[in-house]
């Protein structure tokens, strides 16, 4: 299917959803709850099939990782919407200026209409369900473009959605990058994209033709900083857990680590010990994930070749074999104090390669972070609360964890989103509901009001009242 054919096909789907929305522009809570319940059952009743499909797409993805990083947070996101959705959709009363009393004002959240969601390959379930739960709670209809890099999961979800939802409620679109480009060019009422910064620019450009509002969840180089005096073993434990989940194929994975100069060697050794403790069988460990496909595997091998050519010290963290070309499995590697010119220091790594760099003062670490593009996440390890708060105020990041990695994304009460090159907009929980609603301001005039005093022809009392109002 070429791009024009794809555009016509999905444009027909969009028009069907938009027509259905026009007939029922403000679904009541019972309708929204039913859609969310069907979505919850879709996930809960098919956990094994979902695990199988994602495992097949990756050529080896541990089932427990799919449970921990996809099934559990997806169900939590739906349950949060079910618990809070009725409350979120109620009108929200706001204060009225004393000069306009006894008028009333409120905010009425209303559905925007049809939401487009472009899903990446690295967490195909969670990065579908997370935004979709918010879209459905807000009363919208949704079209999903799933990644061509996860064909088994995409086919499964397309079938499961078709069994439980009409195409006017949720439609799943599959296909190549050309289909994705055509999808992004549709005149949605809101478009949410998760993926790389490079592709995010193209999505935003396509959406701009229709002035489609966009939420962009991108990536970038998220740093972990170990503050002076913080236990290196504790830091290495949490940093390696965050880095090696899904073999580093996580948009908020620690992308590089800054450690005090005198702790550099100790951190590398503790990182090696932690990697071997988590995956004692090394590359053959069933709990270790494969790289999703040969293209990304070769990209990562290229990063290592570039580091080798530059004379950078590489520390392999597993015992035994460190790569398997046929199965595209790659063991974790630390790059010790690499130069900024290295490819791995210029691009988001998205794999089990971890640059570790020394610094002399906390101010130097913060300056290093701020010299890079604004990251999606910051992980600051510190026993000094004041210094940690100082670091948060000095850096401009999408989200942060103190003495932890990744877990801010699992908190439904926290907004998730980037800043600048790492994204724009937020979702999760009520934040997703509000993102995919039009928060309509409403002012209701009282029968008795003083507006006649300010209508032409303007009398002297109008000017005297204005002078009084400006002073009070």
Count of the separate structural domains present in the chain? 2
The residue annotated as part of the active site, out of 70, 251, 401, 412, is 251
Look at residue 2 and tell me whether its pLDDT is greater than 80: no
Look at residue 5 and tell me whether its pLDDT is greater than 70: no
User: Using one digit for the tens of pLDDT, what is the confidence trace for 281-326?
Assistant: 999 999 999 999 999 999 999 999 999 999 999 999 999 999 999 9
Look at residue 141 and tell me whether its pLDDT is greater than 90: yes
Please check whether residue 386 lies inside any domain of the structure.
yes
Q: Same structural domain for residues 10 and 39? A: yes
Please check whether residue 451 lies inside any domain of the structure.
no
Using CA atoms, how far apart are residues 294 and 330, in angstroms rounded to an integer?
A: 11
Look at residue 442 and tell me whether its pLDDT is greater than 90: yes
Q: Which two tokens stand for residue 56?
A: 């097949």
Please check whether residue 446 lies inside any domain of the structure.
no
> Whole-model pTM?
0.95
* Residue-level pLDDT at 96: 96
Q: Same structural domain for residues 213 and 228? A: no
Angle at 357 between CA 290 and CA 239, to 5 degrees: 45
Helix (H, G, I), strand (E, B) or coil at 225: strand
> Mean pLDDT across the stretch 27-31?
98
Please check whether residue 40 lies inside any domain of the structure.
yes
Q: Same structural domain for residues 151 and 88? A: yes
> Mean pLDDT across the stretch 332-340?
97
The residue annotated as part of the active site, out of 77, 217, 348, 412, is 217
Q: Same structural domain for residues 253 and 385? A: yes
> In percent, how much of the chain has pLDDT > 70?
98
Q: Same structural domain for residues 118 and 19? A: yes
Look at residue 8 and tell me whether its pLDDT is greater than 70: no
Please check whether residue 463 lies inside any domain of the structure.
no
The question of whether 251 is a catalytic residue gets the answer yes
Please check whether residue 449 lies inside any domain of the structure.
no
User: Using one digit for the tens of pLDDT, what is the confidence trace for 386-414?
Assistant: 999 999 999 999 999 999 999 999 999 99
Q: Same structural domain for residues 266 and 166? A: no
Identify the CATH number of the domain in which residue 242 sits: 3.40.309.10
User: Using one digit for the tens of pLDDT, what is the confidence trace for 236-253?
Assistant: 999 999 999 999 999 999
* Residue-level pLDDT at 1: 46
Task: Report the chain's mean pLDDT, rounded to a whole number.
Answer: 96
The question of whether 289 is a catalytic residue gets the answer no
Identify the CATH number of the domain in which residue 17 sits: 3.40.605.10
Q: Same structural domain for residues 386 and 272? A: yes
Q: Same structural domain for residues 189 and 267? A: no
CA separation (Å) from 284 to 57, 65, 276, 318, 333? 18, 16, 12, 10, 16
* Residue-level pLDDT at 6: 57
> In percent, how much of the chain has pLDDT > 90?
97
Residue environment code for 99-112, b if the CB has 16+ CB neighbours within 10 A, otherwise e:
eeeeeeeebebbbb
Q: Same structural domain for residues 233 and 367? A: yes
Please check whether residue 445 lies inside any domain of the structure.
no
Which residue range is the domain that position 306 belongs to?
223-412
Look at residue 7 and tell me whether its pLDDT is greater than 90: no
Please check whether residue 459 lies inside any domain of the structure.
no
Contact 356, 337 (CB under 8 A): yes
Q: Same structural domain for residues 10 and 118? A: yes
Q: Same structural domain for residues 186 and 299? A: no
Q: Same structural domain for residues 112 and 227? A: no
* Residue-level pLDDT at 472: 86
């Amino acid at each position: 299917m070429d791009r024009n054919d794809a555009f016509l096909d999905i444009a027909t789907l969009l028009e069907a959803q938009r027509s259905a929305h026009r007939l029922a522009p403000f679904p009541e809570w019972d309708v929204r709850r039913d859609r969310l319940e069907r979505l919850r059952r879709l996930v809960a009743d098919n956990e094994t099939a979902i695990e199988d499909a994602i495992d097949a797409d990756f050529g080896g993805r541990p089932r427990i990782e799919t449970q921990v990083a996809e099934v559990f947070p997806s169900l939590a996101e739906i349950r949060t919407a079910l618990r809070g959705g009725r409350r979120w959709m109620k009108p929200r009363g706001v204060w009225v200026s004393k000069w306009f009393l006894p008028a009333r004002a409120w905010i009425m959240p209303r559905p925007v209409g049809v939401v487009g969601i472009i899903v990446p390959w690295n967490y195909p379930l969670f990065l579908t369900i997370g935004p979709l739960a918010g879209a459905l709670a807000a009363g919208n209809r949704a079209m999903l473009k799933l990644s061509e890099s996860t064909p088994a999961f995409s086919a499964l979800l397309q079938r499961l959605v078709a069994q439980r939802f009409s195409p006017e409620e949720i439609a799943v679109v599959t296909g190549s990058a050309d289909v994705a480009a055509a999808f992004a060019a549709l005149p949605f009422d809101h478009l949410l994209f998760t993926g790389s910064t490079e592709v995010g620019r193209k999505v935003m450009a396509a959406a701009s033709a229709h002035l489609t509002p966009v939420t962009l969840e991108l990536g970038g180089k998220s740093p972990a900083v170990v503050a002076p005096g913080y236990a290196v073993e504790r830091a290495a434990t949490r940093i390696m857990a965050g880095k090696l989940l899904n073999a580093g194929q996580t948009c908020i994975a620690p992308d590089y680590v800054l450690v005090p100069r005198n702790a550099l060697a100790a951190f590398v050794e503790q990182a090696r010990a932690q990697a071997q403790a988590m995956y004692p069988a090394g590359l053959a460990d069933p709990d270790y994930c494969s790289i999703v496909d040969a293209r990304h595997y070769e990209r990562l091998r290229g990063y290592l070749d570039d580091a080798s050519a530059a004379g950078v010290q590489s520390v392999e963290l597993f015992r035994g074999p460190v790569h398997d070309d046929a199965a595209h499995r790659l063991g974790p590697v630390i790059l010790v104090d690499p130069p900024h010119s290295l490819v791995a220091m210029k691009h988001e790594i998205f794999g089990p390669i971890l640059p570790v760099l020394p610094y002399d003062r906390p101010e130097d670490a913060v300056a290093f972070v701020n010299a890079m593009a604004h990251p999606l996440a910051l992980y600051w390890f510190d026993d000094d609360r004041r210094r940690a708060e100082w670091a948060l105020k000095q850096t401009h990041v999408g989200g942060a964890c103190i003495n932890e990695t990744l877990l801010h994304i699992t908190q439904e009460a926290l907004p998730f989103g980037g800043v600048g090159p790492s994204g724009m907009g937020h979702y999760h929980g009520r934040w997703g509901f509000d993102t995919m609603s039009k928060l309509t301001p409403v002012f209701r005039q009282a029968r008795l009001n003083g507006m006649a005093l300010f209508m032409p022809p303007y009398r002297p009392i109008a000017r005297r009242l204005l002078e009084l109002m400006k002073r009070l």
